[in-house]
Each structure stands twice: as structure tokens, then as C-alpha cells.
């Protein structure tokens, strides 16, 4: 009897110990799965494609072994015709293709003719008849050239004969000359525009521009160029920025985003502190793209910048943009789709199937984007009506699926985070249905801030807050010009040459310099060639 009781007690102890070990195993397994997800996600970001595409065999069957998948040794080697066929297809020419590409460019014609004596027949001496000439059209690129302009303003003294008379004669007279954008500055407006566009459009930091100047036998320091940018932004470009800011607040659809920035000499902050560049973009009408530098990512910054705005605010779901008066938040479905994509790509290779829950969530988002693609370019009212027919049923089905998945998804897994993100953001994710002018995503903002993010990899940081503010203005002018199909160099050069010599205190005069103004010369506008 005692043995039986002892065995029962031992059995219960073993059961309890087994339950603890099983719980520990489940905990470690879940932790391992989470770490594996993070590892797979990191590796995918480093080595994988950046485009969010799950296209059958390419991703479902192989991710790290694309080379092995593609190199099937059982298949015969491709023929030369098979290898070169796609290249030949891409190289297909169309009539007038070259002419269309070169349309609008200045042409310099060089004639090659026989000398007079060579044009005569060797036997009879008659003039040789001329056939249709052979024309070879080539593109000549002229690197940036540095010239020194000496602007001589003649000065005239008062009349010597009338100088001593009681009536006041003429004072010292100066020949009229245009005002410079930056007084007593050695750089012309063209030079300042060149420095700004090279950095804020093409991502060439000032230290590399300094080297470029050295190659042109001219020593211009990066500090000098930084001063040019700051003064041009504060004196002239900032006035365009402020006017565009005022006009942005009159729109009823605004898109916003933010990205990191490091500023070295911020007051009472270490040089390693993380600051932010905020972006605000108009959703309708002529594009307005504005950057603003701030030290933190707090909600008070966009709230202050957009003070007075009323309408739809499209963002990526960051809480700083929410719960504002007179604002309807619209979240980004591209972010929701990205979370399901990351969850799918974090799965082990053999688990990446069309039956996986993360793939199904990704496909729900894709169905919505497919419906949007069919409505692109349609009238807003038609878009609104068609969304009710096509997108609303998908949204309803998606919501039921999310509710079903929530209790099954592990909280800390990528899939669980994707499901929770969608459910937490669901009302604002669906708000694109409220107006046919709204987009389903915030991709326009991300495209606008991409140029800044790429450029930051080159120049790394701003030295002072004043420089960061100037950079925000410069990025705003350059990106808004590009969005309005202007040539940024020609546009900024035009501003710097003409604003100092115009009465820009008059609003109508200032408005004539805005990127969408009909008063801008054709030289500032891109020549759009037909797509062939």
C-alpha cells in the first residue's frame, strides 16, 4: 500500500516537472521562432530584393538559393538565340525615336565639305554633283566650366560747373546694375544654384563639391559653400517656402512623414542626438513639398506646423498625427501590406506557401491595390462609387479574417504584429473610402522623402541648427520644383536673379515666382518627350 502511495506521489511530481519542462520548451521554442523571424528579416533586408513581391516560385520556393534554383543541372544549356532574344527585343528601334529624345536641345551643326579643287572631276574638270549628305547625330556633354565675371559699374561725379552753385546739382551717379542675391559675395546666382542642386537633388555633399572645385583650379571651401546655401535660403528661398506653407494649409488633403537627422551643434544636446526632418506634402492640386527640421519626434511639431489645417491627413499610422481637432486621419495600406510581407519572408523556407496565414494577409492587401490600379486616373466621384462596389467587399472580408486570426496569432511574432497593426488602425485604414481624391497609401510622401534619405547617406549630418533649417528650405524648393516638372537648377537660378530685383512684398509678385506659376519662363520647364 505504501509503495502504491509513493508511486502515486512520484507520478504527480514527475507530471508537474514534465509540465514545467514542457512550458519551458514552449517558451524557448517561441523565443527561437521570434529570433529566427528577426534573423530572416535582417538577412532579407541586406541580401534580398527591396520590392514587396510574392510571385509564385521566385519567393515561395527559394530565397537564399536563387542561384541554385536557377541553375538546374538537368536542363540543357540555352542556345545563343535563346540568350540574345530578350536583348534583341529590348533593343527594338522605333521611327523618330532619336529625334524625339533630342527634341528641345540646342544643335550645333558642323559641315565637312571637299575643298574647291577636290570637287572637280579628275578627268574632265566638271563640278561633281552633290548627293544627299550623311548626317551623324551625337550628343556632346560639356562639363561645368568656371569663369570669372567682372561686373564694372561706372560711377559719375557731380558736374564741376554746377557744383558750387546754390541750387543743388546732381549727386554722384551710378550706372544701373541688377542687385546681387547675396551682396559682396563672389558667387553668381548660377553658382549658388549649382551648389544647391548638386547637394539637394543629386546628393553630392559639400566636401565632394569642394574637391570638384579643386579639380577646376579654384579653391572654394565647404564652409563658404555652406554659407552660400544658408544665406540664399534665409534671404530668398525662405520667402517662397513661407508662401507655400501658407498655401499648403489651405488645402484639405495633406500627407506627412518624417525621417532621422543628426545635427552636431544643437544647444544642450550631445552631437550624437537624434533629430528629425519632417515632411509635409499636398495631396491634391499643384504639388507642394515642405521639409521642416525639429530636434524631436514629438507630436507638438506637426501640430504647430499644420496649425489651422482642416481636412484629411494621410500618414503611416504614427500616433503623433492622431487625435487632432478638425482632422480626419487616413492610414497607409502599404504599411499594412509590408508587415504581412515581412512576416511571410521571415518564415522558414519550407513554410513559405500560399496556405500560410501571412501570405493570405498579403493577398488581401494586394486585392485592394489591384482594385485601385484599375481606378487610376478616373474622376474622383467615379472612383468613390467604384470603390464602394469593388473595395468595400474586400475590406469586409479582410476584417472578418483579421478577427479570426487574432486569437490564433502569437503576440510577439511578425504575423501577430501585422494582424494587431491592421486591427488597431482599421478605422483610419478604411478612411480612404471617404473621398475619391484620397489615395490608399502614403507612398507619395515616401517618394518625396526618399531623395533626402539617399542624400543623407552622403552628407551624414548637419553641422548647426541654422544649417539644418537651410537644408529643409533647399530640399523643399528643389523637390517641389521637380514635382511641378521644373528644372531645379534653372528655377533656383531664376529665383536668385529676379527676386532681389522685384517688389516681392506684393503678394501677386511673390506668387509669380511659385513653382506652378504661369509667369515662369520656358527655360525653367522640362521638355516632356513622348514615350515611344
| 178-230 per-position pLDDT tens digit | 999 999 999 999 999 999 999 999 999 999 999 999 888 888 999 999 999 99
Sign of CA dihedral 283, 284, 289, 294: negative
From the number of C-beta atoms within 10 Å of its C-beta (0-12, 13-18, 19+), residue 209 rates as middle
Model pLDDT for residues 59-105, shown as the tens digit of each residue: 443 333 333 333 344 444 444 344 334 444 445 666 677 777 777 77
From the number of C-beta atoms within 10 Å of its C-beta (0-12, 13-18, 19+), residue 73 rates as exposed
Instruction: Specify whether the CB–CB gap between 414 and 342 falls below 8 A.
Output: yes
pLDDT at 124: 80
pLDDT at 51: 57
Measured between alpha carbons, how far is 363 from 371 in angstroms, rounded to an integer? 12
Query: For residue 57, what pLDDT band results from cuts at 50, 70 and 90?
Result: very low
3-state secondary structure at position 274: coil
pLDDT of residue 532 exceeding 50:
no
Model pLDDT for residues 15-27, shown as the tens digit of each residue: 888 888 887 887 7
Model pLDDT for residues 218-263, shown as the tens digit of each residue: 889 999 999 999 999 999 999 999 999 999 999 999 999 999 999 9
Count of other CB atoms within 10 angstroms of residue 457: 9
Element (H, E) at 256: strand 253-261
Sign of CA dihedral 342, 388, 446, 328: negative
Measured between alpha carbons, how far is 293 from 323 in angstroms, rounded to an integer? 23
Residue 328 cell numbers, joined: 480626419
Max intra-chain CA distance, the chain = 142
Which range has the worst mean pLDDT, 116-120, 140-144, 322-326, 421-425? 116-120
pLDDT at 358: 92
Measured between alpha carbons, how far is 31 from 37 in angstroms, rounded to an integer? 10
Mean pLDDT of the chain: 85
Per-residue pLDDT averaged across 483-499, rounded? 96
Per-residue pLDDT averaged across 380-393, rounded? 95
User: Which residue is associated with the grid cell 519632417?
Assistant: 278
Instruction: Specify whether the CB–CB gap between 370 and 337 falls below 8 A.
Output: no
Element (H, E) at 290: strand 289-294
pLDDT of residue 376 exceeding 80:
yes
Model pLDDT for residues 304-326, shown as the tens digit of each residue: 999 999 999 999 888 999 989 89
Higher-confidence residue of 117 and 417: namely 417
3-state secondary structure at position 120: strand
Instruction: Specify whether the CB–CB gap between 358 and 343 falls below 8 A.
Output: yes
Measured between alpha carbons, how far is 442 from 530 in angstroms, rounded to an integer? 29
Measured between alpha carbons, how far is 138 from 109 in angstroms, rounded to an integer? 11
Tell me how many degrees the CA angle 193-198-202 measures, rounded to the nearest 5: 135
Per-residue pLDDT averaged across 129-133, rounded? 82
- Closest to 296 in 3D by CA, of 287, 306, 304, 288: 304
Per-residue pLDDT averaged across 330-339, rounded? 94
pLDDT at 59: 43
CA distances 105 to 96, 131, 486, Å, are: 15, 28, 16
Beta bridge partners of 276: 260, 294
Per-residue pLDDT averaged across 411-437, rounded? 93
Rounded percentage of the chain residues whose pLDDT exceeds 70: 85
CA 426 to mean position of chain CA atoms: 27
Higher-confidence residue of 133 and 262: namely 262
DSSP 8-class letter at 491:
H
347-386: burial string, b at 16+ Cβ within 10 Å, e else = beeeebeeebbbbebbbbbbbbeebbeebeeeeeeebbeb
pLDDT at 175: 87
Which range has the worst mean pLDDT, 41-55, 331-345, 366-380? 41-55
pLDDT at 385: 95
Residue 26 cell numbers, joined: 514552449
Measured between alpha carbons, how far is 196 from 471 in angstroms, rounded to an integer? 9
Higher-confidence residue of 173 and 466: namely 466
Number of residues written out for the chain: 532
Amino acid at each position: 500500500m505504501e509503495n502504491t502511495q509513493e508511486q502515486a506521489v512520484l507520478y504527480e511530481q514527475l507530471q508537474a516537472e514534465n509540465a514545467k519542462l514542457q512550458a519551458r520548451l514552449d517558451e524557448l521554442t517561441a523565443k527561437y521562432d521570434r529570433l529566427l523571424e528577426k534573423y530572416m528579416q535582417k538577412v532579407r533586408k541586406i541580401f534580398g530584393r527591396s520590392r514587396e513581391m510574392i510571385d509564385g516560385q521566385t519567393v515561395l520556393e527559394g530565397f537564399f538559393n536563387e542561384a541554385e534554383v536557377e541553375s538546374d543541372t538537368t536542363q540543357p544549356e540555352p542556345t545563343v538565340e535563346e540568350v540574345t532574344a530578350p536583348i534583341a527585343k529590348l533593343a527594338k528601334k522605333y521611327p523618330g525615336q532619336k529625334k524625339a529624345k533630342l527634341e528641345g536641345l540646342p544643335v550645333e551643326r558642323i559641315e565637312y565639305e571637299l575643298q574647291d579643287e577636290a570637287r572637280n572631276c579628275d578627268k574632265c574638270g566638271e563640278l561633281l554633283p552633290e548627293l544627299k549628305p550623311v548626317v551623324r547625330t551625337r550628343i556632346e556633354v560639356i562639363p561645368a566650366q568656371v569663369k570669372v565675371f567682372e561686373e564694372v559699374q561706372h560711377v559719375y561725379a557731380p558736374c564741376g560747373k554746377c557744383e558750387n552753385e546754390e541750387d543743388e546739382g546732381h549727386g554722384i551717379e551710378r550706372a544701373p546694375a541688377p542687385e546681387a542675391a547675396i551682396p559682396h559675395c563672389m558667387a553668381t546666382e548660377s553658382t549658388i544654384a549649382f551648389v544647391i542642386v548638386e547637394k539637394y537633388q543629386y546628393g553630392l555633399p559639400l566636401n565632394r563639391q569642394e574637391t570638384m572645385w579643386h579639380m577646376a583650379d579654384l579653391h572654394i571651401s565647404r564652409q563658404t559653400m555652406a554659407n552660400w546655401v544658408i544665406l540664399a535660403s534665409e534671404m530668398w528661398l525662405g520667402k517662397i517656402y513661407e508662401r507655400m506653407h501658407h498655401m499648403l494649409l489651405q488645402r484639405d488633403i495633406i500627407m506627412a512623414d518624417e525621417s532621422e537627422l543628426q545635427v552636431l551643434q544643437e544647444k544642450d544636446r550631445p552631437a550624437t542626438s537624434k533629430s528629425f526632418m519632417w515632411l509635409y506634402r499636398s495631396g491634391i492640386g499643384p504639388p507642394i513639398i515642405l521639409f521642416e527640421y525639429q530636434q524631436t519626434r514629438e507630436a507638438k511639431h506637426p501640430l504647430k506646423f499644420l496649425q489651422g489645417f482642416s481636412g484629411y491627413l494621410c500618414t503611416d499610422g504614427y500616433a503623433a498625427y492622431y487625435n487632432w481637432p478638425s482632422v480626419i486621419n487616413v492610414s497607409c495600406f502599404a504599411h499594412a501590406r509590408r508587415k504581412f510581407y515581412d512576416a511571410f519572408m521571415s518564415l522558414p523556407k519550407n513554410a513559405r506557401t500560399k496556405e500560410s496565414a501571412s501570405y493570405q494577409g498579403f493577398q488581401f492587401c494586394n486585392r485592394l491595390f489591384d482594385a485601385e490600379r484599375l481606378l487610376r486616373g478616373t474622376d474622383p466621384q467615379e472612383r468613390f462609387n467604384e470603390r464602394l462596389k469593388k473595395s468595400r467587399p474586400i475590406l469586409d472580408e479582410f476584417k472578418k479574417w483579421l478577427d479570426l486570426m487574432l486569437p490564433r496569432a502569437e503576440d510577439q511574432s511578425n504575423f501577430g504584429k501585422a494582424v494587431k497593426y491592421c486591427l488597431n488602425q482599421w478605422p483610419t485604414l478604411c478612411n480612404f473610402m471617404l473621398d475619391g481624391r484620397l489615395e490608399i497609401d502614403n507612398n507619395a510622401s515616401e517618394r518625396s522623402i526618399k531623395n533626402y534619405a539617399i542624400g543623407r547617406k552622403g552628407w551624414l549630418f548637419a553641422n548647426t541648427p541654422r544649417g539644418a533649417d537651410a537644408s529643409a528650405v533647399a530640399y523643399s524648393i528643389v523637390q517641389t520644383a521637380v514635382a511641378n516638372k521644373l528644372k531645379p537648377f534653372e528655377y533656383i537660378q531664376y529665383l536668385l536673379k529676379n527676386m532681389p530685383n522685384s517688389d516681392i512684398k506684393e503678394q501677386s509678385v511673390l506668387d509669380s515666382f511659385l513653382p506652378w506659376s504661369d509667369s515662369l519662363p520656358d527655360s525653367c520647364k522640362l521638355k516632356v518627350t513622348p514615350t515611344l
